[in-house]
Amino acid sequence: DQQVKQNSPSLSVQEGRISILNCDYTNSMFDYFLWYKKYPAEGPTFLISISSIKDKNEDGRFTVFLNKSAKHLSLHIVPSQPGDSAVYFCAASASGGTSYGKLTFGQGTILTVHP
């Protein structure tokens, strides 16, 4: 039962254009969502997060949008740079004791930004 899904295994974008990565979730108890970037042979690097009380959060070139009714979130990267090429993971967590430290991850999307 995959509670967090990233349906696009890969995405290819031209440098300077917008990258949009998508993520869907099924568990209505999730109330905190995060995006991570991962390079080979390194651990995931935290990018940006959003609480369910918001529908948008921005940090520099990164913006995360949350649509609770559709159980969908997206990460926008503008403008995209070649250094953004990596695997991007969407993750979610729920409040409460049974969720301490537990993130549920999607399977990842490989982003390639071409110069």
Partner 1 sequence: KAGVTQTPRYLIKTRGQQVTLSCSPISGHRSVSWYQQTPGQGLQFLFEYFSETQRNKGNFPGRFSGRQFSNSRSEMNVSTLELGDSALYLCASSLEPPNSPLHFGNGTRLTVT
Where on the chain is the footprint of partner 1 (CB under 8 A)? 31-32, 34, 36, 41-46, 49, 51, 89, 91, 93-108
Question: In whole angstroms, how close is the CB of 1 to partner 1 at the nearest point?
Answer: 12
Q: Given the complex with partner 1, which of 62 and 79 has the nearer CB atom?
A: 62
Question: What is the Cβ-side half-sphere exposure of residue 69, based on CA atoms within 13 angstroms?
Answer: 0
Q: What is the dihedral of CA 94, 106, 26, 28, to 10 degrees?
A: 10
Question: In whole angstroms, how close is the CB of 68 to partner 1 at the nearest point?
Answer: 16
Q: Tokens for 62?
A: 């990164």
